[in-house]
Amino acid sequence: MFDSLATQPSLQRSKGAAHVVMGPRGVIDLAQSGSAKAMLPRMTSGLPEIVFLNTSGGLASGDRLSLALTLRPGTRALATTQTAERAYRAEGDAARAAVRLQVGENSWLDWLPQETILFDGARLERETAVDLAPGAGCLLLEMIVLGRLAMGERPRRLRLRDRRIVRQAGRIVHHDAMALDDAALPRLDGPALLDGARCMATLAMIAPHAPDLLSRTRAVLDEPGVTGAASAPPGRLVVRLLAGNNWPLRRQVNRLLAALRPDPLPRIWQV
């Protein structure tokens, strides 16, 4: 006889952590566990690359993912993800992801993850924290897609808490946060919010001693199907993009990166 009071089996949750330490001559240390992995492709030109991946295939209710990268003084590197991250429907606790980036003195990091796709009913809490030593700088990219566009999915339920915070020598120099929930979704099509867009991206460059890049950036903000704007507070460049589809958004991002940096795009993006 079926016992309706019997304890229901708990669902398996994914947990993963990966930490890479890199110096001017290459990787010094690599630690990884669970679903988080780091690949280190052999490079013949451009910045050394670190490619993080989540072998669980996405983030579901209660999953935990931690990615960390430490650059020693005098190191330049690029870090990305193997593919788009997917946040699946979550009926219980939110999935949580943490990214910790430490950039040593006179070092530079390009953090260029591929997009995050939020399925209908997704619950995701994520924080990207960057610690810059004196003389260090970074370029940060975040791309978010609302729903599975190829399937015509339009999220009706969603909870996102996404925060990016950059400190230099312990002082906050950049703080960017986004919060979405069920109540906000019906209002996103308004002109003051997403104006019908389903894809968004933010690119931020923190480089206290970099030349003025605002005019160079605005010169390429003309991709059809993409709305973009750029501003340049002291020591920073911030670009925000909206699009109805992720392919025009990707093309615009690629053009921006080509205008702002001398190195090739992440090799994994071109596969």
Number of Cα atoms under 13 Å in the Cβ half of residue 265: 18
- The answer to pTM > 0.85 is yes
Ramachandran category for residue 247: left, alpha or beta (phi over 0 → left; psi -120 to 50 → alpha):
alpha
Q: Quick check: helix, strand or coil at residue 84?
A: coil
Sequence-separated (6 or more) residues with CB below 8 Å from residue 142: 113, 116, 128, 162, 164, 201, 202
pLDDT reported for residue 234 = 86
pLDDT reported for residue 14 = 87
Q: 177-233 pLDDT, tens per residue? A: 998 888 777 666 666 567 777 899 999 999 877 667 899 999 999 999 999 999 998
CA-CA distance, 225 to 87, in Å (whole number)? 25
Q: Quick check: helix, strand or coil at residue 269?
A: helix
Question: 138 φ, ψ to 5°?
Answer: -155, 160
Q: Quick check: helix, strand or coil at residue 171?
A: strand
Proportion of the chain above pLDDT 70, given as a percent? 88
Does residue 240 register a pLDDT over 80? yes
Question: What is the separation of C-alpha 64 from the centre of its chain, rounded to a whole number of angstroms?
Answer: 16
Q: Which residue has the higher pLDDT, 41 or 136?
A: 136
Question: What is the separation of C-alpha 231 from the centre of its chain, rounded to a whole number of angstroms?
Answer: 20
Q: What are the Cα distances from residue 168, in Å, to 105, 140, 183, 206? A: 10, 14, 36, 9
Compute the C-alpha angle 53/55/59, nearest 5°. 90
Sequence-separated (6 or more) residues with CB below 8 Å from residue 92: 61, 62
Structure tokens at 233: 């507070």
Does residue 34 register a pLDDT over 60? yes
For the chain, the structural domain boundaries read: 16-190+199-205
Q: Quick check: helix, strand or coil at residue 150?
A: helix
